[in-house]
């Protein structure tokens, strides 16, 4: 299989640049012939799922504020912070682009499980199960996703577990920073043998992309999807 490309937080590194995790960045990714677009999901105090990377917006902590406080906050391109529902609705317009949903860890298993249930509910409601895959740094979130919906594709991000450990936990793949594959050069082939997928983030150098591609990596997540497409 040829190495496929995933846009990191959408295709935002355009000229002029747009905002990461914006609807515009998703639309830009939809206009490229790539595998998917990754984005980050957090939960407001009153349980609304929004697409935003950081824990804080300025001094406002996302998880400690209700959606009414957050809904008019602007991204760098002037868009309001999108809800996950907005994002999935936009994503659904181009079914050929996979939507890679990163669920951000929370310091409470109860809240993480709530986040998982709400995300799955939205995916089902909008009927995009076959178009979505899930990733997380939280092992609990990954395991909970598979417990709730065994058919979902779920990949772990943290880089601290071997392919065999991931297989034993019932997950579908390893999605690690590219440095993890540099430190553990056998992991890509081990993962393949175990039937796991492999992805490296954030691959923003063409030489690193070429090296990983040579080693047989399945996917790379990048801020420069347009440039890697031409390699």
Please write the tens of the pLDDT for every residue from 184-218. 999 999 999 999 999 999 999 999 999 999 999 99
Res. 16: pLDDT tops 80: yes
pLDDT confidence bin for 94, thresholds 50/70/90? very high
Distances (CA, A) of 158 to 44, 161, 162: 24, 8, 11
Confidence of residue 20 (pLDDT cuts 50, 70, 90): very high
What's the pTM?
A: 0.98
| 162 pLDDT tier (thresholds 50, 70, 90) | very high
- C-alpha triplet 66, 72, 76: angle, nearest 5°: 120
C-alpha distance from residue 147 to each of 52, 126, 130, 151 (Å) = 25, 21, 18, 10
Tokens of 164: 């065999």
Q: Which residues partner with 10 through β-bridges?
A: none
Q: How far apart are CA 210 and CA 206, in angstroms?
A: 6
Report pLDDT for 203: 98
Chain segment 101-134, per-residue pLDDT in tens = 999 999 999 999 999 999 999 999 999 999 999 9
HSE-CB of 181 using CA atoms within 13 angstroms: 28
pLDDT-above-90 percentage for the chain:
99
Q: What is the pLDDT of residues 50-77, one digit of tens each?
A: 999 999 999 999 999 999 999 999 999 9
Determine the average pLDDT of the residues in 29-50.
Answer: 98
Under 8 Å between Cβ of 185 and 164: no
Q: What token pair was written down for 12?
A: 């935002």
- Region 80-98: mean pLDDT is 98
| Three-state helix/strand/coil letters over 22-46 | CHHHHHHHHCCCCCEEEEEEEECCC
φ and ψ at residue 124, rounded to 5 degrees? -70, -45
- 7 bridge partner residues: 37, 222
Instruction: Give dist(CA 57, CA 20) in Å, integer.
Output: 13
Q: What is the pLDDT of residue 75?
A: 98
Percent of the chain with pLDDT over 70: 100
User: Count of CB atoms within 10 A of residue 141's CB?
Assistant: 25
CA distance 144 to 82: 25
Average pLDDT over residues 169-179: 98
3-class secondary structure for 165-187? HHHHCCCCEEEEEHHHHHHCCCH
pLDDT score at 1: 77
Coil, helix or strand for 141? helix
């Amino acid at each position: 299989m040829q190495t496929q490309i995933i846009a990191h937080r959408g295709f935002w590194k355009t000229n002029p640049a747009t905002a990461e995790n914006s609807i515009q960045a998703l639309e830009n990714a939809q206009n490229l012939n790539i595998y998917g677009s990754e984005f980050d999901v957090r939960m407001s105090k009153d349980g609304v799922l929004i697409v935003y990377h950081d824990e804080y917006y300025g001094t406002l902590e996302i998880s400690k504020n209700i959606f009414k406080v957050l809904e008019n906050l602007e991204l760098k391109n002037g868009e309001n912070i999108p809800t996950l529902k907005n994002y999935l609705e936009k994503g659904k317009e181009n079914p050929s682009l996979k939507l890679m949903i990163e669920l951000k860890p929370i310091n409470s298993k109860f809240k993480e499980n709530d986040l998982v249930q709400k995300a799955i509910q939205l995916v089902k409601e909008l009927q995009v199960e076959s178009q979505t895959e899930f990733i997380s740094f939280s092992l609990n979130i990954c395991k909970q996703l598979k417990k709730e919906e065994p058919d979902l594709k779920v990949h772990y991000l943290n880089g601290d577990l071997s392919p065999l450990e991931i297989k034993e936990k019932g997950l579908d793949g390893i999605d690690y920073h590219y440095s993890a594959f540099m430190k553990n050069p056998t992991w890509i082939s081990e993962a393949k043998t175990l039937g796991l997928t492999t992805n490296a983030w954030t691959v923003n150098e063409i030489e690193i992309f070429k090296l990983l591609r040579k080693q047989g990596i399945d996917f790379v997540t990048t801020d420069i999807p347009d440039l890697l497409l031409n390699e």
